[in-house]
Amino acid sequence: MSSRAGAAASSGNDVVAQARRRRSFAVISHPDAGKSTLTEALALHARVISEAGAVHGKAGRQGVVSDWMEMERARGISITSAALQFAYRDAVVNLLDTPGHADFSEDTYRVLSAVDSAVMLLDAAKGLEPQTLKLFDVCRHRGIPVITFINKWDRPGREALELCDELTERIGLAPMPLTWPVGEAGRFRGVLDVTDGSFVAFERTAGGATVAEETRLAADRAEAELGEDFSRAKEEWELVAASGGEFDLAAYLSGTATPVLFGSAVLNFGVRHLLDLLVDLAPRPEPRTDVDGNDRSLDDEFSAFVFKVQTGMDPAHRDQVAFARVCSGVFERGMVVTNATTKRPFATKYAHQVFGQQRSTVDVAYPGDVVGLVNASALRVGDTLYAGKPAVRFPGLPSFAPAHFAVARPADLSKAKQFRKGVEQLSSEGVVQLLTSETRGDAAPVFAAVGPMQFEVAAHRMEHEFNSPVKLDRLPYSTVRRLADPAQRALVDAGRNSEVLTRSDGTDLALFADDMSMRLLVRRHPELRLENLVATGG
């Protein structure tokens, strides 16, 4: 195991004990709520980085460790997920930072399939926003418990009680605050620790670059020194507690209630409370159910599933890394495993623990860990890897219903080989969905995307990673359905505003200019079998 993870490699007999040390969670939120800043602050508190920076780098410091793509640093947003692993106390933390922009929600959904819990980050001034609501629905669908961290309390914002009420009223999630802010948003003095009634004050550091030192005061002393601010915090918390807001572990694990913490990620206020809560209470890895409905025991032979494939994380190598969540058994570097999709062997000679863009070799990993498999051109998102017999296969990951379509052509015909390689790579990673048809031919594949920014990322990577600039011609389609009977393809292709394209997973998609075009075609051909695409399956 890497020194960063801090888990001593041992025999396979203690797999369950090692799994219980793992905490695997994702950070989810609306764009600009501070996910990447929180990710960095968590790493700072775990002592795996010595100094925090801003996305663009601040005062000469290195930029956010989880935002490694050039476009991310230029725009100041996360557009791809990132995996970080580090030790904290006696636990091994696998933290997955997710894209905040709605155009990349498909990547976030895949990440949520690889974690056991989530931290929902809310902006103190904005509360629950549309993308946050969608992501919470995914957590509810997958049975993922959620901890809520109300961020940016150092800036003006809404009332704490109002934000808690919103959790109940808008998503039916009972708030269970474990800290309560002392001082209104924008005048943050510290937090009331409701577990013992004490006050925790934070010493500000320059730009939040280092861990904020904490000073704890007993309730009576805090009352004397802080006066009305502390009294008001106590009264507000008591009001929430009287309304059923006292902590209930079973309610948290069942997904009916959420622990709530207040803080400021950019100033490292309240971040330690979040880390401690995750280590103490977040769920450990559990047996995963395979496609046949059987639970794969943690101490069974090795198995894992690939939830993300990424190329170009290291500009010096341009290799492909497949991120796999270990589900059972012990992973040992160099072992030969079987890809359940292709039935072919895969050698794991090059395996890394990933910390942002940094890597270190991993020799051993356990259930709950995320391993980066290098030179993984044979692996695709959703593949299951396993050792021994019998074979095991976990449910695949969903492909969303795309809403935007564009024909891709090489800007330079002499670079056709690079074009084909790049298109295949982007498809295998899930950057865009790849659609083809005999009519259009392989030289003019169609990129399909959930959001238009995916096209921008695809074009950027085609030019800078594969040296093949592309021309993207948008197609006028806005409605998509699955064609249930391939024999009916000609009915759709004959329409004036429709056509059928086949996705790389073999699914036939019927594309229409709009809902009216689809309804008119169905009226003319009532036998036509069209089905909705389900985004939350898998």
Q: What is the 3-state secondary structure (H, E, C) of 98-152?
A: CCCCHHHHHHHHHHHCCCCEEEEEEECCCECCHHHHHHHHHHHHHCCCEEEEEEC
Q: How would residue 10 be classed by pLDDT, with cut points 50, 70 and 90?
A: very low
Q: Which residues pair with 88 in a beta bridge?
A: 91
Q: How would residue 1 be classed by pLDDT, with cut points 50, 70 and 90?
A: very low
- The mean pLDDT of 58-84, rounded to a whole number, is 49
The two structure tokens encoding residue 269: 């206020």
Asked if residue 386 lies in contact with residue 297, where contact means CB atoms within 8 angstroms, the answer is: no
Contacts of residue 528, defined as CB under 8 A and 6 or more positions apart, other chains included, come to 488, 491, 492, 521, 522
Tell me the C-alpha distance between 126 and 129, whole Å. 7
Choose from 2-16, 313-327, 450-464, 486-500 the range with maximum mean pLDDT: 486-500
Is the per-residue pLDDT at 364 higher than 90? yes
**pLDDT of res. 450:** 82
**pLDDT of res. 54:** 34
How does pLDDT run across 200-221, given as a tens digit for each residue?
998 777 666 677 778 999 999 9
How does pLDDT run across 512-535, given as a tens digit for each residue?
999 999 999 999 999 999 998 754
How does pLDDT run across 405-441, given as a tens digit for each residue?
999 999 998 998 999 989 988 887 778 889 998 888 8
How does pLDDT run across 283-340, given as a tens digit for each residue?
999 999 999 999 999 999 999 999 988 765 555 555 678 899 999 999 999 999 999 9
Cite the annotated binding site for GTP by residue number.
97-101
Assign 518 to helix, strand or coil: helix
Query: What domains appear along the chain, each with residue ranges and CATH number?
Result: 24-82+99-281 (3.40.50.300), 288-386 (2.40.30.10), 404-531 (3.30.70.3280)
Within a 10 A sphere around the Cβ of 98, how many other Cβ atoms? Answer: 27
Cite the annotated binding site by residue number.
97-101
CA atoms within 13 A on the CB side of 142: 28
Q: Which residue is listed with tokens 């629905």?
A: 137
Q: How would residue 483 be classed by pLDDT, with cut points 50, 70 and 90?
A: very high
Which of 103-107, 306-310, 380-384, 386-390 has the least mean pLDDT? 103-107
Q: What is the pTM of this model?
A: 0.79
**pLDDT of res. 451:** 81
Q: Which residue has the higher pLDDT, 81 or 185?
A: 185
Which of 115-124, 218-227, 305-314 has the least mean pLDDT? 305-314
- Percent of the chain beyond pLDDT 70? 84
The stretches of 172-270 forming alpha helices (DSSP H) are 219-226, 228-240, 249-254
**Which of these, 308, 307, 298, lies nearest to 395 by C-alpha position?**
307
Identity of the amino acid at 415:
K
Q: Which residue has the higher pLDDT, 313 or 350?
A: 350
Question: How do beta strands 117-123 and 22-28 pair?
Answer: parallel
Identity of the amino acid at 375:
N
**pLDDT of res. 202:** 81
Q: To the nearest whole number, what is the mean pLDDT of the chain?
A: 85
